[in-house]
Structures are given as structure tokens and as C-alpha cells.
Structure 1
């Protein structure tokens, strides 16, 4: 904001001094454009570009630094199994099959799968996907640093917070689309409804969490413009076109994400989360903001007081919606992280024009923001360092081990061990499949995991194990960095009775905050004759 007057003046000078239009006018009337006029135009344009670079060099440096970190980190990142699940669905099904039969089991609208389908048909590789996600994140950062009204000490440091720099840049999930869409919504918030309705509709198609955010922002927008809408002070045509766009995009999101009847067991499992609901809401709020946890409470108090001083408490609605939903649906660290770009947008939209002197709660709120940015940058450093020095996922290493077996047409079964805290499923084995050109598992019908009730893969495992396949892969997952492998589990004893022994272990751990968060392992069991 501090350069807005200078930029306005630069724009005015451009219109008044740039002789290109006069030269073009002469040329149109039959007079040749003078080379001196063209040289002057180039000189003026270069001068304006130089002034822009001099005025905005901190923003350019920030984007360059962000891009350098992201592109340096991507080659060291091993994709997690949920990154692979969406890729495999888009890679191995037709567009009609994907939308009609498979996406609705993923608990998500279909925008990300559709974009993956397009990339795959443009011959983008699984590795290339992560570079595209990095480019999306860089674009998001450019929107933030050039468009946000924050002072530079905030907007030039926010991009390096953990979720924007790592989780929504290097990790290839649909959530990489959320920050740029939210930042564009904030940028166009005070404009007409046409662009905003399109952006809100697209946001609703990214994920269920993003859909709730979109709905809450729509409620706020309608409330703020209720008088104009009632009186149709907006252009009638634009208003109805906006409503049609939004209604269509919301309908598509609901249609693709609506759970089918044979997903009932997974939906019922949502109600078996042991912690009380209020405790889960507190956890959702503190996990992405507090370090140590206790400091999350004063941080959120500061945010509420700052919004109250701005007379903008209604903007807490999307934050409340997100917390309420994430506390009901089993969510992970990257879901909780959506609070960060959402909070940025809430503060962006409500940012006061007056900058000094700062009211007391405004000052406290900005100090709290500096605290949040500081701890999140520390989390970014930890996550990047961890991803560089440790396997983030076991999938790539396991695929490299399995390749000679797959080339020799080995018969491979998959199964899993669920630990005491409920973690573990056969879905983790999907992470290996993008590294092969076909499904390599005997007891999995599709080259991705099916969340249908009555998934037959475990029954087929029991039926096929006596036929002595060449390999058995057992999936395990647990909290923390140390793999917890229960060798006394009935599944391990069953394998031992059939002559199989653990020969190789491939594990990977994702970090969160300042500690390891979740460890996933592929355990390779081979028959005794293979070991000799």
C-alpha cells in the first residue's frame, strides 16, 4: 500500500508520455512511424520497468527466494500414498468413469482429479506433477506479496510459513489450489459479484474443507451486500449470471462429493472418534498455530479482539465452520493448516486503511501475527531439513526394490496391520503403484484403493496366501518417527505358518510442527526358499 501513489503516478506518466499510440496513429493514416518515436517509446518503457523494479525489489526478491527454496526441495521429496491415490484414479480411468464411479468414494469434489487427468493426458509425469504444484505455489505467493494490503514485514514473511512453503507447495495434494483461490477472493472481494462467484464456486470444488470455507464466505458476502441485492443495485444481468455460475459450480461439487450408499461403514466410523467434540475443536485450533500449544489460546484471543476492533467479527464465520467440520471428520495436519491461508484472507479483507496510530488491539493482533509467522518459519525449516535428510515416504524406495520382481512377473499380495490407535490400512500400498505401468497386486482389482464397503482385498488375501505368492507386502502406520511393528500380530503369525518371513522394511515419516508426525512402512515378507 505504501507505493500505491507512486504506482498511480507511474501509470499516469505512462499514458501521458508514451508516444507509441501517436506513432501508431500516424502509421494508420499512411505516415511511417518515426524510428525516433519508437526509440523514445522503448526508452520510456524501460525507464518505467526500472522504476517498478526499484520500487518493488523486496517483493521480487521474496518471490525469487520462495521459488528457489521450493524448486530446491522438490527433488528430495518422496510422495505420500494419498498423493498417489488421486494420481492413480486420474491415470487409469476414463473421465466418465472417474466422475461417475470413483471420485465419490474419495470424500472430495473432483476438480483436483480432473486437473490430474488433464496433466496425464498432456504427458505430465508423476515427478512433473510436483513441479507444477511448485509453480502454483509461486503464483500464489506473487498474488500475496503484490496484492495484499499488509505492511512489508508481514507480507514478505508470510510466504515462508510452513503450510504455504511446504504442505501446499511441495506436497502434491489438492490443497495446493486453496491459497491462490483464497488470495484471489480477497483481492476481488470489494469488486463485483461475477469474479467472486466464479472463484467461490471453484474453491468449493477443491475439497470438502474448502467447500465449507466457500459457503461461509458467501454468507458473509450476501450479508454485507443484502441491501444492494434486495434492491438489485447490481447489474441485473451480472447478478443473475453470477448466481447461475455459483449455483452450477456448487451443484457440481455436491454431485461429485455426495457419498454413495456403499460408503456407509466409513461414514459411520466418523462418529467413533473417542475425544469429546469440544476437545477436538480446541485441538484443531491449536495444532496449526501454537508452539508451545498453550500459546495458541492467547493468539486466537488476539485475533478475535483485533477483528472486534475492526467491527468485523462476522469474518470469524469461515474459521468457525472449518473448526466445526475438521473436529467431526477425521482430519490430519494438512487439513488443520487451512486455517493459515484462511486467516490471511480474513485479515486481508478487513485490513484497515488507517495505519497510525495503531489502536491497542490492532497492535496486539499484529504482534500475535509476527509470533505466528516466526514459529511457522521454524516449522518450515524443520520440515525442509527433515525431507532432505530422511525419507518422507517409503513408496519410492519400495518401488525400486520391487522393480526386478515386477519385471519377472512376480505374484504379490498386499495386506495390513492396524495398530492400537486405529492407524493402518491397505490404502498405503497405493503409493507404490505410480512407479509402475500396471497394477502389481493380485488381491486388488483396481490400480488404486477402493473405499467401498466390503472391499474384498482382505478376503482375497486369505484365499490366495495358500497359493504361495512370491512376495507379501504388509502395510503399517503409526504416530511418531519410530516404526511400531508388532511381530506378534496374528497377521504375522499367519504369514509365518505359511512359510513367510520379514526380509525388508521400507519406512518413511512426515514431520509436523517441530517433531515427526506419522510413519508409514512397507514390510516385505518372502518365503523361506527365497531367503536361502
Structure 2
């Protein structure tokens, strides 16, 4: 082994050198400061607030669950939000629950993992644990929490009790990628037990049924029930506009390509899509090689990588938050196998795996530093908070009806304003947009103005119109796609002229990190 590899191993792949508490407390305090700074600057955007809106719908939990059915996510996150809101009765439970989940997750890493502190520092300053799974209030952070809890409990509970099965049941109901990880972990658990059985029964050929396998079967049944609950909650989805369109492509071809080139799927988001797909694939596969000293963990990591890639290629597109669930699963396997990984001082492939893992984590930390830069420079995800401040500053807008184009701009508004919101395409009041190809697909600026006038006349209230399309920049009569090949919008020169004559622009907000920026008009 070269001197440089030896230094890397000494720093990042050695057993934890000591168990003093004060360095770990400093790590946690530093993480809290960095995460808290970002939370104080963070503006909620539509995917975050949409979950809170759905969680609070219905007179009771049963009614909420009925409304959730088909949304595309299992119920656990919504139950947490509804429970927290029942206690505190404030919308701030949304970032509060996300931070609490992130805090416990990071505390598990710092105080319970076998990783040396330099490696822990890389992990907790990565994009996932410094921003995406703690500042961004979504249901993916709870996947990391349950994965790390499983890692912490596995040695003591592998052969007894149902704690691991219950944790897997909960993991299956965090999100669909979490459910995929349940299957991969059960594969690891089974192979790990069989390997242990072979090691302890060298004189007995083959394998035999044992109490440990009975315990595993019971836990596997519990975990499978969790996956079934997830599927029943999610399917069939009513957001059919998000489904893959295979009219011009072959799902079989996409599936085969995803298995040999996972970096070209949404897993490439782990590298901010800066690496070519094949380079990302090489790094993803290589990062699993460090698990070769614990062969069942290596096989489970490969299985999880291929299953996740296949899901992204055939079923649904993903983003960083989805891909990072697989990364957390990989970290979980390294955690469980650390005693063998950290003492494997020879072998070229494990050494390549350790270096590759460090490269992946270094990219995550670079992205985490960029998150801090965005927070420091005031780059926000949405201009919804700015709109809330604008409405609060003007008494004449206190009861104004809000209309938007595209209509999904309004989903983040309930966190900041209490004004009634009208969904133009669905012709109803509400703030949860159904991403369906059913109903009205195409609209134009003339229809937006007509609806605004109708709302003013029927409600007797001012009407605020939010336009993501800058009227002085768009091309008249050009058709604009509103995402997912879903709905379209156009504006003729005459419609633009009529709209400007009938309204007054009261604010133009600057760009946002997402597409949630808009011009604000008031109907005259």
C-alpha cells in the first residue's frame, strides 16, 4: 500500500480512536450552528408545503389518509406533521420536525457510529445531512434516520427480537426508495446470517434451519407488511402526469441501460450531474468495493444500486433527495461492516473502494459548502415569503384572492399567507394541484384574465395574479410547456395588451433557486 493510501486509511478508515465526549459535542454543536443558519434563511417551496397541506386535510387521521391515497408517498411523514401540528398548532412544525429528524440522525452518526471523526465530519457536512435532509422539510430525511438506527441496532438484534423488523416497516413507509432499501437490507441480513452459520459450523456441510433463521423470517414478514402498506397507500397514483411516457422509447432498453450505467439515471444527481454518466457509474460501483471484506454487505450494496437505478429508469425520475437514500444505505452497510472494513489492510479492490467512497463524500461536502454559500448570499428556493411580506404590508390585500399561472406556484403560499387561493385549471379553491392529464390541459393569458374578473365579481374582493411568465420577455403565441409534458400556456399580443390595461404590476421578484419566482399583478 502506498504512503498516501495509508494516510487516508489512518484518517478515515481506522477504528474510532477514543470515546471522549467533548470532541463529539463540538461536532454536534457546529452542525447545529450551520444547519440552524440555513434554516433561518430558508424559504419553504411548494413540495414542502404541499405535504403539510395534505397532512392537515380532513377532520381526522382517517380522512387525511383517504385524501393521501394516490399522492405517491407513504403516510409516515404526513402522520408526523399532523401529530406535531395537533400539539403546537403552528405551521412552523414543518421545519421543526425536519430539524428534529436531522438532529437525531446526525447524533446517531456522531455518538453511535464506529467511524473516526474525520469521516463523520465529511458525512455531516455533505449536502444530504447539512441541507437536503434537515433544512429542506421533506420525507427523505426519515429514511436516513431509520437506516442509521438499523445500523446501530443490528449487532445486538440480528438474531433476536423484532426491533429490526419494525424499523424496516417504518423505513418502507418513508418513501418508495426507502421501500426498495428494505428489500436490499433483507438480502444482506439473510446472507450475513448464512455466512456466520458457515463460519461457526465448518465441520457441517451445507446449511440447516436455525432459531436465527426463524427470527429472520418473522422480521422479514413484518418488513414485507410495511412494504405492502406503502404500496396500498401510494397506488394507484392520481398524479398521472408524472408517469413515464413510453410512446417514443422502449422500457426494456431503458432498464438494461440503467443496470450497466446507473450514473446516467437520477443517481447521477449525487455528483450534481457534473460527471458524465459512465464516469459516475464507475464511481458508484467502485464505492461499494470497500465492502468486499464483508461480502454480504457488498452484494446488498450492488443489489440496492441496481434496483434503485432500475426504478429511476423505468418507473419515475428522481432527484438528489431520492439518490441520497441509496448513499445512506451504503453508509449503513459500511457502519455494520466497519470492524472488517477498517482492518482490511491489504487487497487492491477494497482500497479502490475506500478511495472511491471518499471521493463521493468529498463531492457531497463540496455541495454542502455551496448550500452555505447560497444561504449567506440570500439565494432562496421560492419567492413565496416575499409575497407574504408584500401582502402583510398592504391592508387592501388582506382578503385578496390569489390566482396564478402556472397554478402550482400557489402550493407554497399557505405557509406564508391566509388568502384564499384559486386553482385555475381545476376551477376550485385549494392549494394542492393534481398533476393529472385529465381536465383542462391548455390555457392562455386571456383565460387567466377572464377568471380573475369572474373572481372579483363573485367574491367582491381584490384579485392578485401571479405570473411566472414575464410579459415583456415572452414571445407572443409561443406555446410554453409547464413541465412533465403536462399543461401548456400561451399569450397572444392582443391578450398581453388587454392584460396590461386591466391590471397593475405591483412587484417583480428576482430569480429563485427553483422556478418559484413571479411578477405580481393586481386586477384594476
| TM-score higher than 0.5 | yes
Where does residue 65 of structure 1 map in the other structure? 30
Structure 1 residues 521, 215: closer, same or farther in 2, change over 3 A?
Answer: same
Contact 1:133–1:169 (CA<8 Å) still a contact in 2?
yes
Alignment partners' CA distance in 2, 1:97 and 1:486: 43
Alignment partners' CA distance in 2, 1:271 and 1:345: 39
Alignment partners' CA distance in 2, 1:206 and 1:475: 34
Structure 1 residues 361, 226: closer, same or farther in 2, change over 3 A?
Answer: closer
Structural RMSD (CA)? 3.5
Q: 1:521 aligns with which of 505, 514, 517?
A: 517
Say which SS state the counterpart of residue 449 (structure 1) adopts: coil
Q: TM-score, structure 2 length as denominator?
A: 0.76
Alignment partners' CA distance in 2, 1:427 and 1:120: 24
Deviation at 1:163, TM superposition (A): 1.0
Q: 2:219 aligns with which of 239, 242, 255?
A: 242
Contact 1:213–1:318 (CA<8 Å) still a contact in 2?
yes
Where does residue 389 of structure 2 map in the other structure? 400
Deviation at 1:76, TM superposition (A): 0.6
Q: Does 1:187 align with 2:168?
A: no
Structure 1 residues 523, 226: closer, same or farther in 2, change over 3 A?
Answer: farther
Alignment partners' CA distance in 1, 2:274 and 2:244: 34
Q: 1:446 aligns with which of 395, 416, 430?
A: 430
Where does residue 229 of structure 2 map in the other structure? 252
Contact 2:239–2:434 (CA<8 Å) still a contact in 1?
no
Which 5+ residue runs of structure 1 have no aligned equivalent?
A: 7-51, 417-425, 511-517
Q: 1:148 aligns with which of 113, 122, 132?
A: 113
> Which residues of 2 match residues 40-79 of structure 1 at below 5 A?
55-79=20-44
Where does residue 497 of structure 1 map in the other structure? 498
Q: Does 1:387 align with 2:383?
A: no
Structure 1 residues 220, 107: closer, same or farther in 2, change over 3 A?
Answer: same
Where does residue 369 of structure 1 map in the other structure? 357
Say which SS state the counterpart of residue 337 (structure 1) adopts: helix
Say which SS state the counterpart of residue 519 (structure 2) adopts: strand
Where does residue 111 of structure 1 map in the other structure? 76
Contact 1:444–1:457 (CA<8 Å) still a contact in 2?
no
Where does residue 303 of structure 1 map in the other structure? 287
Contact 1:108–1:256 (CA<8 Å) still a contact in 2?
yes
Contact 1:289–1:296 (CA<8 Å) still a contact in 2?
yes
Deviation at 1:475, TM superposition (A): 5.2
Alignment partners' CA distance in 2, 1:475 and 1:375: 36
Which 5+ residue runs of structure 2 have no aligned equivalent?
A: 1-13, 198-206, 457-461, 479-488
Q: 2:275 aligns with which of 293, 297, 300?
A: 293
Where does residue 465 of structure 2 map in the other structure? 473
Residues 408-456 of structure 1, C-alpha deviations (whole Å, 9 max, x = no match): 432332232xxxxxxxxx2232111222346332643333223355356
Where does residue 3 of structure 2 map in the other structure? none
Where does residue 221 of structure 1 map in the other structure? 189
Where does residue 243 of structure 2 map in the other structure? 267
Contact 1:105–1:452 (CA<8 Å) still a contact in 2?
no
Structure ID, larger Rg: 1
Deviation at 1:213, TM superposition (A): 1.4
Q: Does 1:412 align with 2:398?
A: no
Say which SS state the counterpart of residue 428 (structure 2) adopts: coil
Structure 1 residues 349, 507: closer, same or farther in 2, change over 3 A?
Answer: farther
Where does residue 11 of structure 1 map in the other structure? none
Q: 2:50 aligns with which of 57, 81, 85?
A: 85
